[in-house]
Chain A
């Protein structure tokens, strides 16, 4: 029997994977994928908890997260394109002009 706990654990594992990716990935695209994983991990949790309480707001939240994630991708990809045009690289370490 799969209960709420399983969904939450799955959500937690996915979130950790996402965090790991955010910390480790040096490629900007991969970094964005990781943040998508973060958000979708949360989505799973929201839907499961919403179902558990018999409450709609969990699902609604998940929908909004999907929408926001989509727009984030739009903006994020735009920025990557700009950067790639300027520098010819989407490596994270090329973003080191400002520090200190």
Chain B
């Protein structure tokens, strides 16, 4: 079985390296095919592993001693257990589809080969992240996906906005990673190991304050990667990258790494329910906050990005309240329908010559029937309508909140569910139905190539049926994760389902009704709330005005006044001090034999004198 583990892990790396050889060359179709095939192989072998892993058998291999010097030993191993295999299957599955899709999507891009090299490298890093059996491996994968994300967001680096967005994402993540690193140091300091099993076995012995610190620091890392408030701005800007990248990295996999971290470290968070509650509250806030921004945005991809943010908030609510398996379940179903939504959006973009403003589309159903159907499926799943996948996972999260008697959180999520339904169908309506604005603007949309559509059908299928896997999923993962006990009455549970479905349906109905007749009038746009939302609560401006500008001003000041005059001088001084000290100590070395001998005798004499003077000390 180890064989399959290594195949899963290294097949994408091989693909990436091969594609990297051709990175600077003009497009070679087979790099795309080869990398897709290798990622596909990786997917198949992770399926084999999925069948292999059960309650009694998990696969744990120690590949090598990464650092082993005396009692400092950091082994580098991988573990395939119920949690990591779910992640592996999800990641490799979505990656395979995104790879195949990209062959079509990147068809005319001159950096075709480079793209596939990066994309496969990302898959490899992500697999390291989820398969590692220790925090260091996780952190390496964590940084690896961060790096790949940076390269892929800035893939069209000649576009200024793209490279700016890439840097923003990278820097925001580094800030958060600092928190994570501190958490890791704290773990090592207190426990002396990075291995999950050792850490979790010993975490009980630690002071609860220490555990709180560890949990909080790790969560800061998770916040950065999963773009939770206040680190959320990078995710929307990251939409500058090619759409397959958005689908794979910024919807289905990388951004969920934060959730994965919380689930993986559930043994830690279980001990600190207070921190968990904070996480859940933040999650609920983000769920509504992001959904509200999605309500009014006109950028096709940004709407989906905000929706991703909002869904990540849902996952954090579940994880924070201790329903780890539900968080993981929502992570998986979300990966399917959200990547489908993104890839569909990619088709639309192509059809519209990279136009993203949904106000300029409308009525695309005529020319892009297949894409329209796929995106509608994904939207229904996202809105959480029975029997689509989103229904099962999202409803469970709401039940968890209610069960926890966190009614405020529940209410936030409930409102969020209504908003989700509304903005999803606002998007569908404005893009595919209604007046054909694009014709007026002179666009000639065309459907994507057939193989691209076929590649998306598995995702659509799973978006529909994945929810029915709930019971087997539950049975599978609770071997490893703590089960979540519902104490709700059965009838209350039913009422919740009915209520949630009702608000989702009414959100959809409202959207369909409104946009069938051309949407809201121009009057809405002058409303204060609209402006607030369209401007993303003015947070980017806030960052710009309150942080960036003063920071720039302060930096200039510091640079001119303090750095040049004080810091530089200090650094110079320290440097000079050492250098001068060197000059001084150098004089010991006068080269004169007599003085050398005297130094030796003086050494002895001084020590003897010290011995006599300091006799009381001995």
A-to-B contact residues, CB < 8 Å: 19, 22-24, 26, 92-93, 95-100
Contact = CB atoms under 8 A, between A and B. Distances in A.
Interface string B577-618: 000000000100111111001100100000000000000000
Interchain residue pairs A-B with the least CB separation, the first 3:
A99-B591, A96-B591, A23-B598
Given A19-B601, A23-B601, A92 B594 contact: yes
Contacts of B586: 100
A74 to B, nearest CB: 20
B271 to A, nearest CB: 62
Contacts of A23: 594, 597-598, 601
A99 B586 CA distance: 8
A79 to B, nearest CB: 12
B594 A26 contact: yes
Nearest to B605: A19
A39 to B, nearest CB: 15
Secondary structure of the B side of the interface? helix
B601 A95 contact: no
B593 A99 contact: no
Contacts of A100: 586, 589, 591
B591 to A, nearest CB: 2
Contacts of A92: 592-594
A93 B597 contact: no
A21 to B, nearest CB: 10
19 contacts: A19-B601, A22-B601, A23-B594, A23-B597, A23-B601, A26-B594, A92-B592, A93-B592, A93-B594, A95-B591, A95-B592, A95-B593, A96-B591, A97-B591, A99-B589, A99-B590, A99-B591, A99-B592, A100-B586
A93 B591 CA distance: 9
B592 A96 contact: yes
A15 to B, nearest CB: 11
B262 to A, nearest CB: 61
Nearest to B604: A19
A80 B591 CA distance: 18
Given A22-B601, A24-B594, A99-B591, 8 more contacts: A19-B601, A92-B592, A92-B593, A95-B592, A95-B593, A96-B591, A96-B592, A99-B590
Contacts of B589: 99-100
Interface centre among B586, B592, B594, B598 (most CB of A within 10 A): B594
A94 B325 CA distance: 85
Contacts of A22: 597, 601
Contacts of A97: 591
A93 B597 CA distance: 13
B591 A98 contact: yes
Contacts of B592: 92-93, 95-96, 99
A80 B590 CA distance: 21
A2 to B, nearest CB: 26
A98 to B, nearest CB: 5
A100 B586 CA distance: 5
Contacts of B593: 92, 95
Contacts of A99: 589-592
A8 B35 CA distance: 86
A96 B593 CA distance: 8
A26 B594 CA distance: 7
A23 B598 CA distance: 5
Nearest to A24: B594
Contacts of A96: 591-592
B587 to A, nearest CB: 9
A69 B593 CA distance: 20
Contacts of A26: 594
A75 to B, nearest CB: 16
A81 to B, nearest CB: 17
A26 B598 CA distance: 12
Contacts of B601: 19, 22-23
Interface in B541-596: 586, 589-594
Nearest to A34: B597
Nearest to B590: A99
A26 B590 CA distance: 15
Nearest to A22: B597
Interface in B251-298: none
A69 to B, nearest CB: 18
Nearest to B598: A23
Interface centre among A24, A26, A96, A99 (most CB of B within 10 A): A99
A22 B591 CA distance: 16
B492 to A, nearest CB: 87
B459 to A, nearest CB: 74
A38 to B, nearest CB: 11
A51 B172 CA distance: 81
Contacts of B590: 99
Nearest to B599: A23
A22 B592 CA distance: 13
A14 to B, nearest CB: 15
B216 to A, nearest CB: 55
Contacts of B597: 22-23
A24 B593 CA distance: 11
B323 to A, nearest CB: 72
